[in-house]
Chains A and B, each alone.
Chain A
């Protein structure tokens, strides 16, 4: 084939790629417009639902896009409020068949969309049938779908939350735990922290420590000391030490110093830095760390300690 033929083939292939991207751009612009319209609709439903709180009333949506916007509005309200009465939510979800809509969309959605839809399901009262469908996604290969399914399952059956978390075949990451804590903040989960801190299950233990830290439960310090004393898992011990630091507890005890001595220099330096920010004094740090480790803490401690006694510049 001569050069002209090659040029011609190059032109056609490139133009096909360019045409594909141009069509994709037009579709993306169209999708963006649809999304903006949907957001406006969702905001309007949000205002209607808020106005309805504590009173009888109806919110109706007809088309699929309107029902989806209504579901998104319900999800926003449930995510940002605490102990919202669910009677209105149940009525709105039932009258507009939101569960059916989302389950239908779930079947054909791509990964990110599936995760988004499962998140919305966590805010809508759902039936036992929906819970069975969601349970399929607990074993998804995609992490975001798995976590969204866990949150939706826990929100649907709060009394089974501990069992669901304990039975997970993988370890929860800090972000996953924070999403469960968000459900706690909404007043949805009746979880006590003490059994979690005494559990042998990795996920339950991490959740218990996260609850202690997030809610500032300083009476849990004896459990944290027990964890530091007995736990072979370094990650859990580190979490417990950090949580004690957040609670402002002394860290000079023998078992804590022993565990810290076994940690890598990086983690020790990082902890030293963290304690400086938490307000521990140089003398408290010198009990736990060596002089070479606390050398960088001094300017930071001075800038923060001094900020308690600061002067107004004229």
Chain B
């Protein structure tokens, strides 16, 4: 029993810590989301460059045309999308993109660097409405970080946003980023890290070049005082855009379960005389105290699960991202481990 009590103590302490951190995290996410939603009303007029901030989205292995379409939806003028696809492996997708956006192959000079040599062909659109799109055909078996370094050769703007296939930009993401970056009049921001779900890192082009290009250890090379963190969410996964949201009925059932567990725990505590104050009607507890303890442990485990799920559900509804509560809960543990481990640059 002593071992079980010890395990329960540790489990409860860990659960309480996670819940406390998630309450703080959720409140910040929701506050950032409300600010971003208001931006929709005020983004009219943001289409011209803000403080000369420009954003280049480098999309590694775009999965489909819908992703390209989403990335091109932004109206901010200092913006481009550099899509990286291996034409030999993803030939069909490549052809579809070239024909849809009327892309033309550019006549490039002979290879000027080792990185440049990995680019087979470079395409841009002849049509003004697709002027923000650049397509890179990269050689086979080029690693992701190397492929992104190839894209840096043709990046036009001062901030780069690396993302990978299957990720989409949220509405007004680029305008939000431009507003945040342009507020810094001293131009010192080298890394903007979004702590939303999923996380996203935006690097200053100059900084990436000076630190030798993209690599997993890139954030460690950047001075912490030149890094800013935000809880605004800029990207989402493709399936999060289509998944159904929780219904009022499901949440009401959840609330009912909460009340039921609470009543059950109170009854067990009373009948098992948990607090040892003789509150039962007879001289002895109605339920064996040991049995009451085990039932309470089961209730505690159920409580942990339902509390984390309740916070996750609220986060999903209030932040407007359509993902399931289980995946949101798994993110809790990922965030906790990220707190203790050195931060890495992992493309979302």
Contact = CB atoms under 8 A, between A and B. Distances in A.
Interface of A: 1-8, 10-12, 14-15, 17-19, 21-26, 28-30, 32, 75, 79-80, 112, 115-116, 119, 144, 148, 171, 173-175, 178-179, 181-182, 185, 213-214, 235, 242, 266-267, 269-270, 273-274, 276-277, 296, 298-300, 302-304, 306-307, 309-313
B122 interface: yes
Contacts of A313: 98, 104-105, 121, 123
Report the contact-size class of chain B (Cβ under 8 Å from the partner): 35 or more
Interface of B: 5, 8-9, 12, 15-16, 19, 23, 34-35, 38, 41-42, 44-46, 48, 50-54, 98, 104-109, 112-113, 116, 121-124, 126, 153-158, 179, 182-183, 185, 187, 205-206, 209, 245-248, 251-252, 254-255, 258-259, 261-262, 265-266, 269, 272, 274-276, 289, 292-293, 296-297, 299-300, 303-304, 306-307, 309-311, 313-314, 317-318
B303 A11 contact: yes
A299 B112 contact: yes
Contacts of B38: 112, 115-116, 144
Given A15-B262, A266-B206, 6 more contacts: A11-B265, A11-B300, A25-B314, A112-B38, A173-B182, A310-B126
A202 to B, nearest CB: 11
Contacts of B158: 270, 273-274
Given A11-B300, A17-B19, A3 B8 contact: yes
A242 B292 contact: no
Contact of B296 (A4, A116, A174): A4
Contacts of A269: 206
A174 B318 contact: no
A193 to B, nearest CB: 15
Contacts, number: 222
Nearest to B98: A313
B252 A300 contact: no
Contact of B187 (A80, A179, A266, A303): A266
Contact of A25 (B48, B182, B303, B317): B317
Contacts of A171: 185
Contact of B255 (A8, A26, A173, A270): A26
A5 B108 contact: no
B69 to A, nearest CB: 22
A174 B182 contact: yes
Given A3-B9, A80-B44, A11 B156 contact: no
Contacts of B9: 3, 6
B300 A10 contact: yes
Contacts of A276: 156
A5 B274 contact: yes
26 contacts: A3-B9, A4-B269, A4-B292, A4-B293, A10-B15, A12-B262, A12-B265, A14-B16, A18-B254, A22-B313, A23-B255, A25-B246, A29-B247, A174-B183, A175-B179, A175-B182, A178-B46, A179-B45, A213-B48, A266-B187, A266-B206, A270-B206, A299-B113, A303-B153, A306-B108, A310-B105
A75 B52 CA distance: 28
B317 A32 contact: yes
Nearest to B269: A8
Contacts of A304: 156
B48 A21 contact: no
A3 B5 contact: yes
A311 B209 CA distance: 30
Contacts of B179: 175
Given A11-B265, A303-B106, A19 B259 contact: yes
Contacts of B289: 4
Given A5-B274, A15-B261, A299-B116, A25 B153 contact: no
A21 B311 contact: yes
Contacts of A3: 5, 8-9, 293
Contacts of A115: 38, 42
B106 A307 contact: yes
Nearest to B26: A21
Contacts of B318: 24-25, 28
A59 B123 CA distance: 51
A29 B310 contact: no
B12 A19 contact: no
B248 A30 contact: yes
Contact of A14 (B35, B44, B304): B304
A174 B318 CA distance: 29
Nearest to B274: A4
A302 B289 CA distance: 81
B313 A21 contact: yes
A270 B159 CA distance: 10
